[in-house]
Structure 1
Amino acid sequence: MILDLFGTLVSAPSAVERSVAATRFAGTLRVSPAVAESALSDSWRARHDGQLRSTTEVAAHLVARCDAPASHMNKVEQLLAELARDRLRADASLLRVLKELRHGGVALAVLSDASPDIAEAWSRSDLAPHFDAAVFSCRVGAVKPAPQLFGAALEALGVGPKQALYCGDGGGDELAGAERAGIRAVRVERRGGPQGLAFGETAWPGGAIPEVEALPSLLSTWRDR
């Protein structure tokens, strides 16, 4: 099974949370919140598609984009790491279900459009021990719905597309991307509610579940058919 991260396993950030983060970056960089927000928004692709390979490189990029002193870089790097750690906090109910799935013999991979700070924080998160593989866009060098992302997840699990199920909230056209890769896909309602931000989402006519916690019941229903 391949699972999306933001909006699926953990809440997608809201506009308010993004604004708060931008304000924190602004304070660290000593620029206006508008300048910090612009730097974060304009650098999204570079942070997610492999152009920037580490948290240090992301920090240097943001410092340069904001025309801030290089002496601020260490504090920006620390803030990136802190925010990444916070964003990877998972609900206890979700962790229980992941444990149940693995104990039931389901191999799990996470597949996410993620920046290096998220990729580097992953191994220290409560989520990581429940997964057999993690595929991040910044490591593959492409963002959803690029087929190489789904191929990398299948390869990491050692399965073919017909043996896999993809579950995500639909951002980045991921569900259609999974189906184009030959993987059955199911939509999950966005974790964190409708205020959670998602980009590149398209209409989904296929199956849907209310939350990841419903996956064991879904799999049981399929097995009984």
Structure 2
Amino acid sequence: MRAVVFDFFGTLTDPGVEAGRRGAAAVTAAALGVPADPFWQVMRETFTERITGVHGDTRGMLRMIAERCGTEPTAAQLDAAVEAHHAGAVPLWRPRPGALDVLAGLRARGLRLGVLSDCGAELCQGWPSTVYAPYIDATVFSWQEGARKPDPRLYATAARRLGVAAAECWYVGDGGSREHQGALAAGMRPVLVTNAGYPGAARHRDDPDPFIPPITIEDLPELYALTVQGVDM
């Protein structure tokens, strides 16, 4: 095994911050001139569209949501809403405790590291400035690729960008978006992070995966044992 591909939200990020996602959306809705509850409902209904770039960048996405809520936003409202949306996304990127140390430790062991995330334009645009970027060798973002997990092509792309075979990759995630099924279909070895120390985190996952991989860990530091002991952990 030569590489580890990570899910982002709820895996590298602090699962505890996911509860704040709706509050951040309410701030964007206010800037856009749309009531918070309809805005949130359309956000949820258009998840796949938003994260695969159907509506373009953040501005185009917010215009679409406003129109579906029956509002025609002004240019100034769109400007303010884009700023609010990007500002509200940053706290959701907060690392889970110890995550950066784990990434540094795995790199020190010679492993290639990747991130495969279902995400919108804001993470794609903000990635270079995140605290994660120096540790990650390759990224695959659904918004840029026009596809979402569990599409096996995303996993194949991650392996290719890391310069390894899919069979040489662990895929580590918290189980949203049926991601482990996709990893297995692509030839990777899936690892479930149960987030047992974060009660309630699972209810914020999109499209939870009914497939439970044979290898499960409660938190990321357990990956050290996995990389030492190999696939027989």
Query: TM-score, normalized by length of structure 1?
Result: 0.91
Change (3 A) 1:54 1:12: farther
- Matched with 2:205 is 198
- Which residue does the alignment assign to 2:226? 218
Superposed, which structure 2 residues align to 1:114-133 within 5 Å? 114-133=119-138
Paired with 1:146 and 1:175, the residues of 2 have a C-alpha distance of 11
Q: CA RMSD in A?
A: 2.2
Could you say what secondary structure the match of 1:108 adopts?
Answer: strand
How far has the Cα of 1:14 moved from its partner?
6.7
Does the residue aligned with 1:149 lie in a helix, a strand or coil? Answer: helix
The reply on whether 1:37 has 2:40 as its aligned counterpart is yes
Distance 1:74 1:48 in 2: 20
Q: Distance in 1 between matches of 2:128 and 2:190?
A: 26
8 Å Cα contact 2:171-2:190 kept in structure 1 = yes
The residue number in structure 2 matching 1:138 is 143
CA–CA separation in structure 1 for the residues paired with 2:125 and 2:99: 21
Q: Which residue number in structure 2 is paired with residue 6 of structure 1?
A: 9
Once the 2 structures are TM-superposed, how far is the Cα of residue 59 of structure 1 from its aligned partner? 2.9
**1:22 and 1:144 mapped to 2: Cα distance?**
23
Q: Provide the residue aligned with 1:167 in structure 2.
A: 172
TM normalised by structure 2 equals: 0.88
Which residue in 2 is equivalent to 1:69? 73
User: How far 1:93 sits from its partner (Å)?
Assistant: 1.5
The answer on whether the counterparts of 2:116 and 2:141 sit within 8 Å (CA) in structure 1 is: yes
Partner of 2:216: 208
Write the distance in 2 (CA, Å) between the matches of 1:99 and 1:31. 43
Shift of 1:224: 9.3
SS of the aligned residue for 1:59 comes to helix
Task: Extract unaligned runs of 5+ from structure 1.
Answer: none
1:15–1:214 distance in 2 versus 1, CA, 3 Å:
closer
Alignment of 1:47-86 (within 5 A): 47-66=50-69, 67-70=71-74, 71-86=76-91
Deviation at 1:7, TM superposition (A): 1.3
What does 1:142-157 align with in structure 2 at a 5 Å threshold?
142-157=147-162
Report if the CA contact (8 A) 2:159-2:166 is conserved: yes
Aligned-partner SS, 1:6:
coil
- Per-residue deviation at 1:103? 1.5
Aligned residue for 1:176? 181
Residue identity opposite 1:189 in structure 2: T
| Distance apart, 1:26 and its partner CA | 2.8
In 1, the alpha carbon distance for the partners of 2:92 and 2:113 equals 20
Distance of aligned partners of 1:21 and 1:224 in 2 relative to their CA distance in 1, 3 Å threshold: closer
Q: Distance in 1 between matches of 2:18 and 2:138?
A: 30
Identity across the alignment (%): 30
Could you tell me which amino acid in structure 1 is paired with residue 226 of structure 2? Answer: L
Whether the aligned pair in 2 keeps the contact of 1:175 and 1:185 (CA below 8 Å) is yes
Q: Secondary structure at the match of 1:123?
A: helix
Question: 1:107 is matched with which residue: 108, 112, 117?
Answer: 112
Alpha-carbon distance, 1:90 to partner:
1.2
Is residue 3–residue 110 contact of structure 1 (8 Å, CA) maintained in 2? yes
Where structure 2 has 5 or more consecutive residues not aligned to the other structure, the ranges are none
